[in-house]
Amino acid sequence: MTRGNNTEATTREHRRAAHGPRRSRYTTRSIVVSASVLVAIAVVGVVTLSTGAIYVAPVDVVRTLLGNGSRITDFAVLDLRLPRVLVAILVGGALGMSGAVFQSLSRNPLGSPDVIGFNYGATTGGLLVILLFGGGVLSTAAGALIGGLVTALAVYLLAWQRGVRGTRLVLVGIGVSAVLQAVNFYLIVNAKIADVARATVWITGSLNNVGWEHVWPMAIALALVVPMLLAGARWLNMLEMGDDAAAALGVPVERSRLYLIVAGTAACAIATATAGPIAFVALTAPQLAKRLTRSTGAGLLPAAWMGALVVLAADFAAQRIAGSGTLAVGVATAAIGGVYLGWLLRRTRR
């Protein structure tokens, strides 16, 4: 299956090369799609900011955001709701990018970090910090980041056999994630009940209780990782054509793959550290973006916008439709993602 895609992509590249240097990354279509998704993010964001216990009219939301709000709207919009919206956008964007990187690397739509278990590793790291050291926001985030990176390296090394192939990476990841799920379970069962409730909410993926103290560390971390990912994107598009073709084009195959794995895992782990492992976003967002833009490359930016929209919309649904904040955003994305996944697999069946 992967080989079929691969040759197809290669021939398409050849055809494009024959027709002259057309850059696939910035087609009109992908610009229009990206702009529409950004508008949708803005709309859902404003709706989320205006609804809740205190209703603020959308016009007032915009006015408050521009710095001309009253005391009440300042409190409701800027203090309570804005951090949550920003975190949702950042988390979704990071997950979308990370998913695009891994799906492109493994040349498989199922090769996303939530299937191959990097966010289980991040969860293990975060849980260890919460349960053993009673960690705060920053130390939990650090734990998740280290956990995710260690897992990624372990999977990479275990899948190594004279180079790493996409399918083997995915299957080894499935095995490793089973171990990590078991470890996570053990950690939760043997913890104090107060920690357990907190940890359980965290591991399902939740944006409840998110404040400004979550926004800043995340924004700074992403400001470091996102340029790294964008810099690696040119290798990614060449790696997609196959290892041999990429090597012929002068790409250091294994070294660039390791670099992309580390950077992609970092993005995923940063998101996990803040909101817990929100399921299926990294899986669905790049695929949705790819279908809408109809582009052949990895499409990191469209995937990021789409991820932000998915998490924002899922959090809105979980928050306002289910009510009372009992339903975590992770449950909503899992429900949407599960259905989407089945459809995806059925459609790509050969």
Partner 1 sequence: MTDTIEKPVVAARRIPGKRLLGLAVLIVALVVVALLSIAVGARSIPLPTVLHILFHRDTSDAAFSVWDLRIPRTLMGLAAGASLGVAGAVMQALTRNPLADPGLLGINSGASAAAALAVSVLGLTDLTAFVWFAFGGAAIAGVLLYLIAGRGGASPVRLALAGTAVAAALTGLTQGLTLLDRQTLDQMRFWTVGSLARADGATLGRVIPFLAVGLVVALLLARPLNALALGEDAGKALGAHLGRTRLLSLLAITVLAGAATAAVGPLMFVGLAVPHMVRAFTGPDQRWVLPCCALAAPTLLLAADVIGRVIAPQEIDVGVVTALLGAPVFIWLVRRSKVARS
In whole angstroms, give the CA distance from residue 50 to residue 30: 30
Tokens of 187: 């950690």
Please report whether residue 349 would count as binding partner 1 according to CB under 8 A: yes
Size of the residue set binding partner 1 (CB under 8 A): 51
Contacting residue, 185, 192, 209, 212, with partner 1 by CB under 8 A:
185
String marking each residue 161-180 x if it binds partner 1 according to CB under 8 A = x---x-xx-xxx-xxx-xx-
Please report whether residue 158 would count as binding partner 1 according to CB under 8 A: yes
In whole angstroms, give the CA distance from residue 57 to residue 104: 42
Q: Which stretch binds partner 1 (CB under 8 A): 21-29, 243-251, 299-307, 333-341?
A: 333-341
Question: Residue 215: CB partners within 8 Å, gap ≥ 6?
Answer: 83, 86, 87, 90
Q: How far is the CB of 285 from partner 1 (least distance, A)?
A: 16
- In terms of C-beta distances under 8 Å and separation of at least 24 residues, what long-range contacts does 299-303 make, across chains too? 299/25, 299/30, 299/100, 300/97, 300/100, 300/101, 300/229, 300/230, 300/233, 300/236, 301/34, 301/230, 302/30, 302/33, 302/34, 302/37, 303/96, 303/97, 303/99, 303/100
Residue written as token pair 């002068």? 250
Please report whether residue 45 would count as binding partner 1 according to CB under 8 A: no
Of the pair 80, 158, the CB lying nearest partner 1 is at 158
Q: How far is the CB of 173 from partner 1 (least distance, A)?
A: 9
Site for partner 1, rule CB under 8 A: 1-3, 108, 110, 114-115, 158-159, 161, 165, 167-168, 170-172, 174-176, 178-179, 181-183, 185-186, 188-190, 196-197, 200-201, 203-204, 279-280, 326-328, 330-331, 334-335, 337-338, 341-342, 345-346, 349
